[in-house]
Structure 1
Amino acid sequence: MKALILSGGKGTRLRPLTYTGAKQLVPVANKPILWYGIEDIVAAGITDIGIIISPETGKEVQTKTGNGEQFGANITYILQEQPAGLAHAVKVAQPFLGDSPFIMYLGDNIIQSELATFLNTFKKQQLDALIMLRRVANPSAFGVAKIDENGRVLQLIEKPKDPPSNLALVGIYFFANTIHDAIANIQPSARGELEITDAIQKLIDREQKVEACTLEGWWLDTGKKDDLLEANRIILDTQITPSIQGEVDDKSQIIGRVQIGPGTKVVNSSIRGPVIIGNDCYLENCFIGPYSSIADGVTLIEADLEHSVILQKATIAGIHQRIVDSVIGQRAQLGVAPRRPKAIRFMIGDDCQIELA
């Protein structure tokens, strides 16, 4: 069994952050989104992993993620020259996949459930495809499944204007090698892409064995700012344990589940968890509220924030109004002039410099 993780694409929904980096490397609780998928796959016992990369961000993905040793895996990088669809990515990866069954995992997705449960179902029933479904409020934004009263998959439709159900396809699929022939016999969609939903539909039309499982736990597709913040909230809520390795002075107050990395210095500040703060940060005269993630090398002086994600080496100084629901890019610099609004929200890309007047 092999795995194929998709880490290409242009990340248009997370711009401006993704003008300068891969969306799959944007951190959730100070860990790249992509790494959660790798860890889940390895936990299911699959260690031979191919990662689809793009020309624009592939080098960054390779540099940060490495050869897989840190995860207990062997990673092969596969270049997809153009974002021509999920089925096209499988086509490009066919030399790596060979005749092996495989799991396909979209690199900006995170699920609560363990993959091993679904993998066992896939193997035990000797399926051609196993898809995962989740009930959503806005099915037209996803691939959608139409099923009968017995739960059998009848039809898959990509981003339908009039959805036949509210069952969205989660970005995780299990395939036998029969998917390759199905992909070879589909045409590009109206979007000009080879859709994986069309390939699975081909299997269904051929009466091959396609089954679905409905997720009961959470599913996070982190393609937009609010989705990213929600993923950050859930991970902090469920996975953070208290650990203070940095230096906290006696004027500071730490409440709840807070992680502070080595080399970080906290001066006259209040931190209310769940919060994660990386290595080599400096915080002075700050309030850091719940559901905040602060990456390595960040400087915060007289800052007040909560429910936000601050990326590496950003600087926020002198902003006394609370920053909420914000994503601040790497090396961004925020300062403030004397007149101040009551509350502010940001989504700021890497290397920006902003002053509020």
Structure 2
Amino acid sequence: MKALVLAGGSGTRLRPITHTSAKQLVPVANKPVLFYGLESIAAAGIREVGIVVGHSAEEIQSAVGAGDAFGLDTTYIRQEAPLGLAHAVLVSRDFLQDEDFVMYLGDNFIVGGITGLVDEFRRARPDAGILLTRVADPSAFGVAELGTTGRVCRLEEKPEQPRSDLALVGVYLFSPAVHRAVRAIKPSQRGELEITHALQWLIDEGYEVRSTVIDGYWKDTGNVSDMLEVNRTVLESLEPAVRGSVDTASQIIGRVRIEEGARVTGSRIVGPAIVGAGTVITHSYVGPYTSIAAGCRLLDSEIEYSIVLSGSAIQGVRRVEASLIGRNVDVTPAPAVPAAHRLVLGDHSKVQISA
């Protein structure tokens, strides 16, 4: 079995971070989201991985390389434009050949990995396997409707009136039959070849599409709130370690990891939290569920439930929370200015100004 990892999306919901960085490489607990997926694939015993890339191809390839760090053999497949998940399968035909494969969306996060799912697919050998989970707003996802026997009978992509609350999770398992499906379907109204349409084609043509409803944790890390939630979840199982230096005036409470070369002076860090290599924290407070990457500086500041990317500095600021701060950012207090109101008012106006 091979794997096809999709890493070509533009990440519009994570802008401005994704103006300068691939969304799949935004870190949670100081590790890119994409890496968690690659580790899950390797743990499932898969070695050959095709990574579908777009405009951020160079950045993805620089981060992953040949895949040696994950025990994988990677092939990069160019998708000139994000024309849908089924289109990604279409352009990957030469790599996939006639083997079964798992398709993994590179910005998705699943606690517990995919080993059990891959093993079951290998054992049962259906034509396709999908993962489903119950969500509060199914209209934002591909949605599955199950029949009375529990089999998938209908799939829709982002329906205005969903027929169920079962959303497709970003992991799919396919036999070579899917290649017929992606060639048979037409682009949707949004101009994409939808994987839900390909799956529906398989169902309509009598192929076996199995579903598994998962109760475990899954997130599509497509926006800031989801990124912070995944970061929180990963930090819950953080192994504490102090590899950097912490002075006697500092307090380290709970599960905290301080990487090599980091320095903590006169500060309080309450875990779960992680501090990257070479980061300097001085007279500051770092609260729970915070990931601070390598080479950052915190001085006289407070931060909690946030992600800070490498090379950034936060100085003299109280208080930062529920934030995603990009690379090489400077966060400082606004300059003091005289308190004043500047008004341009029309005739007969009424204005109330707080004292």
Q: How high is the TM-score relative to the length of structure 2?
A: 0.94
Does the 8 A contact of 1:146 with 1:154 survive in 2?
Answer: yes
Deviations 1:190-219 (Å, cap 9, x if unpaired)? 010000000010000011010000011110
Q: Cα offset for 1:149?
A: 2.3
Q: Cα offset for 1:114?
A: 3.2
Distance 1:151 1:30 in 2: 40
2:11 is matched with which residue? 11
SS of residue matched to 2:332: strand
Matched, 1:203 2:202: yes
Distance 2:209 2:161 in 1: 23
Distance 1:148 1:25 in 2: 38
The one of 293, 301, 317 equivalent to 2:299 is 301
1:313 is matched with which residue? 311
Question: 1:1-357 maps to which residues of 2 (within 5 A)?
Answer: 1-54=1-54, 56-238=55-237, 240-319=238-317, 321-337=318-334
* Residue type at the aligned position of 1:38: L
SS of residue matched to 1:13: helix
Distance 1:257 1:77 in 2: 38
Distance 1:136 1:129 in 2: 22
Deviations 1:247-281 (Å, cap 9, x if unpaired)? 11111000000001101111100000000111011
Distance 2:16 2:279 in 1: 24
Does the 8 A contact of 1:314 with 1:332 survive in 2?
Answer: yes
Deviations 1:35-54 (Å, cap 9, x if unpaired)? 00000010000011110111
SS of residue matched to 2:185: coil
Distance 2:91 2:171 in 1: 18
Distance 1:118 1:248 in 2: 43
Structure 1 range deviating more: 258-267 or 110-119:
110-119
Structure 1 residue runs of 5 or longer lacking an equivalent are: 341-357
Distance 1:339 1:210 in 2: 63
Deviations 1:88-129 (Å, cap 9, x if unpaired)? 011111111111100000000011133121112212221110
Q: Cα offset for 1:220?
A: 1.1
Distance 1:269 1:84 in 2: 49
SS of residue matched to 1:10: coil
Deviations 1:289-330 (Å, cap 9, x if unpaired)? 0000000101111110100000010111111x2211000000
Identity value in percent: 49
Q: How many residues align?
A: 337
Distance 1:141 1:310 in 2: 28
2:345 is matched with which residue? none
SS of residue matched to 1:127: coil
Distance 1:95 1:128 in 2: 19
Q: Cα offset for 1:338?
A: 5.9
Does the 8 A contact of 1:113 with 1:215 survive in 2?
Answer: no
RMSD: 1.0
Distance 2:149 2:276 in 1: 49
Structure 2 residue runs of 5 or longer lacking an equivalent are: 338-355
Q: Cα offset for 1:59?
A: 0.2
* Residue type at the aligned position of 1:329: G
Q: How high is the TM-score relative to the length of structure 1?
A: 0.93
Distance 1:114 1:57 in 2: 25
Q: Which runs of 4+ in 1 moved over 4 A?
A: none
Distance 2:254 2:284 in 1: 16
* Residue type at the aligned position of 1:63: S
